[in-house]
Amino acid sequence: MRETTVTKSVPDGGFAEAETIATIGLEMAIQERVMPLMTVTEAAAAKIKELMSEETDVSVLRVAIQGGGCSGFQYGLGFDRGPVEGDLEFAMHGVQVVVDPFSAPYLQGAEVDYVDTIQSSGFAINNPNAVSSCGCGHSFQVEEGDTDANMGGCGSGCSA
Protein backbone atom coordinates (compact mmCIF):
# COMPACT_ATOMS: atom_id res chain seq x y z
CA MET A 1 0.00 0.00 0.00
CA ARG A 2 1.29 3.43 -0.96
CA GLU A 3 1.02 6.26 1.58
CA THR A 4 0.97 10.03 1.22
CA THR A 5 1.55 12.60 3.96
CA VAL A 6 -0.63 15.71 3.89
CA THR A 7 0.15 18.86 5.89
CA LYS A 8 -2.70 21.30 6.50
CA SER A 9 -2.81 24.51 8.55
CA VAL A 10 -5.53 24.72 11.19
CA PRO A 11 -8.08 27.50 10.46
CA ASP A 12 -8.36 30.60 12.67
CA GLY A 13 -9.81 29.75 16.05
CA GLY A 14 -7.70 26.59 16.29
CA PHE A 15 -4.46 26.18 18.19
CA ALA A 16 -1.92 28.97 17.58
CA GLU A 17 0.54 28.09 14.82
CA ALA A 18 -0.56 24.45 14.94
CA GLU A 19 -0.38 22.20 11.90
CA THR A 20 -2.16 18.94 11.32
CA ILE A 21 -0.30 16.07 9.70
CA ALA A 22 -2.29 13.14 8.38
CA THR A 23 -1.19 9.95 6.68
CA ILE A 24 -3.66 8.71 4.10
CA GLY A 25 -3.63 5.23 2.60
CA LEU A 26 -4.53 5.83 -1.05
CA GLU A 27 -6.01 2.36 -1.46
CA MET A 28 -8.30 2.66 1.57
CA ALA A 29 -11.84 3.93 1.19
CA ILE A 30 -12.81 6.89 3.32
CA GLN A 31 -15.91 6.11 5.33
CA GLU A 32 -18.22 8.80 6.60
CA ARG A 33 -20.22 7.90 9.68
CA VAL A 34 -23.60 9.59 9.77
CA MET A 35 -25.24 9.67 13.17
CA PRO A 36 -28.98 9.07 13.20
CA LEU A 37 -31.34 11.64 14.68
CA MET A 38 -31.83 9.40 17.70
CA THR A 39 -30.98 5.86 18.76
CA VAL A 40 -32.88 2.72 19.67
CA THR A 41 -31.25 0.29 22.09
CA GLU A 42 -31.07 -3.43 21.30
CA ALA A 43 -33.52 -4.14 24.16
CA ALA A 44 -36.02 -1.64 22.74
CA ALA A 45 -35.60 -2.99 19.21
CA ALA A 46 -36.27 -6.55 20.38
CA LYS A 47 -39.47 -5.48 22.17
CA ILE A 48 -40.58 -3.32 19.21
CA LYS A 49 -40.12 -6.25 16.79
CA GLU A 50 -42.06 -8.52 19.16
CA LEU A 51 -44.95 -6.05 19.41
CA MET A 52 -44.94 -5.32 15.67
CA SER A 53 -45.23 -9.03 14.89
CA GLU A 54 -48.58 -9.02 16.74
CA GLU A 55 -49.92 -6.17 14.57
CA THR A 56 -51.07 -6.15 10.97
CA ASP A 57 -50.31 -3.57 8.30
CA VAL A 58 -47.55 -1.75 10.21
CA SER A 59 -43.92 -1.37 9.19
CA VAL A 60 -42.40 1.52 11.15
CA LEU A 61 -42.12 2.87 14.68
CA ARG A 62 -43.26 6.49 14.81
CA VAL A 63 -41.65 8.59 17.56
CA ALA A 64 -43.14 12.02 18.20
CA ILE A 65 -43.58 14.69 20.78
CA GLN A 66 -46.95 16.21 21.50
CA GLY A 67 -48.10 19.19 23.49
CA GLY A 68 -49.40 18.24 26.90
CA GLY A 69 -48.26 16.35 29.90
CA CYS A 70 -47.61 17.99 33.21
CA SER A 71 -44.23 19.33 32.03
CA GLY A 72 -45.24 20.77 28.64
CA PHE A 73 -44.47 18.00 26.14
CA GLN A 74 -45.15 14.30 26.14
CA TYR A 75 -43.69 11.48 24.09
CA GLY A 76 -45.67 9.49 21.58
CA LEU A 77 -44.59 6.03 20.42
CA GLY A 78 -46.70 4.06 18.01
CA PHE A 79 -46.69 1.88 14.93
CA ASP A 80 -47.50 3.22 11.49
CA ARG A 81 -47.88 1.89 7.96
CA GLY A 82 -44.90 3.87 6.74
CA PRO A 83 -43.32 7.30 6.52
CA VAL A 84 -45.18 10.33 5.23
CA GLU A 85 -43.72 13.20 3.25
CA GLY A 86 -41.25 15.19 5.34
CA ASP A 87 -40.55 12.43 7.90
CA LEU A 88 -36.98 11.75 8.91
CA GLU A 89 -36.25 8.04 8.57
CA PHE A 90 -33.59 5.71 9.91
CA ALA A 91 -33.14 2.05 10.79
CA MET A 92 -31.49 0.68 13.90
CA HIS A 93 -31.20 -2.95 15.04
CA GLY A 94 -33.66 -3.99 12.37
CA VAL A 95 -36.34 -1.44 13.29
CA GLN A 96 -37.45 1.29 10.86
CA VAL A 97 -38.07 4.55 12.75
CA VAL A 98 -39.78 7.72 11.50
CA VAL A 99 -39.93 11.14 13.15
CA ASP A 100 -41.98 14.09 11.93
CA PRO A 101 -40.15 17.37 11.25
CA PHE A 102 -41.81 19.19 14.20
CA SER A 103 -40.62 16.57 16.70
CA ALA A 104 -37.11 16.14 15.30
CA PRO A 105 -35.39 19.10 17.05
CA TYR A 106 -36.78 18.01 20.43
CA LEU A 107 -35.62 14.41 19.91
CA GLN A 108 -32.11 15.12 18.57
CA GLY A 109 -29.72 12.77 20.39
CA ALA A 110 -32.48 10.99 22.33
CA GLU A 111 -32.45 7.26 23.01
CA VAL A 112 -35.43 4.89 23.05
CA ASP A 113 -34.82 2.11 25.57
CA TYR A 114 -36.89 -0.72 27.01
CA VAL A 115 -36.56 -1.42 30.73
CA ASP A 116 -37.91 -4.44 32.57
CA THR A 117 -37.07 -4.24 36.25
CA ILE A 118 -38.82 -4.95 39.50
CA GLN A 119 -39.64 -1.22 39.75
CA SER A 120 -40.88 -0.57 36.21
CA SER A 121 -41.40 -2.08 32.83
CA GLY A 122 -41.83 -0.27 29.53
CA PHE A 123 -40.26 2.05 27.04
CA ALA A 124 -38.16 4.94 28.31
CA ILE A 125 -36.87 7.87 26.31
CA ASN A 126 -33.60 9.34 27.49
CA ASN A 127 -33.61 12.84 26.05
CA PRO A 128 -30.64 15.23 26.41
CA ASN A 129 -32.90 18.14 25.35
CA ALA A 130 -35.17 17.79 28.37
CA VAL A 131 -34.27 20.21 31.15
CA SER A 132 -36.86 18.63 33.46
CA SER A 133 -39.25 15.70 33.46
CA CYS A 134 -42.32 14.88 35.46
CA GLY A 135 -42.24 12.23 38.16
CA CYS A 136 -43.81 9.58 35.94
CA GLY A 137 -41.29 10.20 33.13
CA HIS A 138 -43.93 10.57 30.41
CA SER A 139 -43.60 14.31 29.90
CA PHE A 140 -40.73 16.76 29.74
CA GLN A 141 -39.84 20.41 29.43
CA VAL A 142 -37.23 22.10 27.26
CA GLU A 143 -35.41 25.39 27.87
CA GLU A 144 -37.51 28.54 28.32
CA GLY A 145 -38.79 29.94 25.06
CA ASP A 146 -38.97 26.51 23.40
CA THR A 147 -42.40 25.57 24.75
CA ASP A 148 -45.81 26.66 23.58
CA ALA A 149 -47.79 28.60 26.17
CA ASN A 150 -50.97 26.76 25.16
CA MET A 151 -49.73 23.38 26.42
CA GLY A 152 -51.35 22.21 29.60
CA GLY A 153 -51.13 19.54 32.26
CA CYS A 154 -51.84 15.89 31.69
CA GLY A 155 -54.13 15.50 34.68
CA SER A 156 -52.47 12.25 35.67
CA GLY A 157 -51.48 13.53 39.08
CA CYS A 158 -47.74 13.33 38.45
CA SER A 159 -45.67 16.33 39.44
CA ALA A 160 -42.62 17.96 37.91
Inform me whether the pLDDT recorded for 69 exceeds 60: yes
* Distance, CA of 21 to chain centre: 35
Per the CB < 8 A criterion, the answer to whether 160 and 134 are in contact is: yes
Q: pLDDT tens digits, residue range 86-126?
A: 999 999 999 999 999 999 998 999 999 999 999 888 998 88
* Distance, CA of 54 to chain centre: 25
Distance CA 152, CA 70 (A): 7
Residues whose CB is less than 8 angstroms from the CB of residue 28 and which lie 6 or more positions away in sequence, other chains included: 1
Q: Name which residue leads in pLDDT, 133 or 154.
A: 133
* CA torsion angle 97 103 106 108 (round to 10): 30
Closest CA to 37 of 83, 112, 90, 96: 90
Q: Name which residue leads in pLDDT, 46 or 28.
A: 46
Query: What pTM was estimated for this model as a whole?
Result: 0.64
pLDDT of residue 68: 72
Distance CA 156, CA 137 (A): 12
Per the CB < 8 A criterion, the answer to whether 113 and 106 are in contact is: no
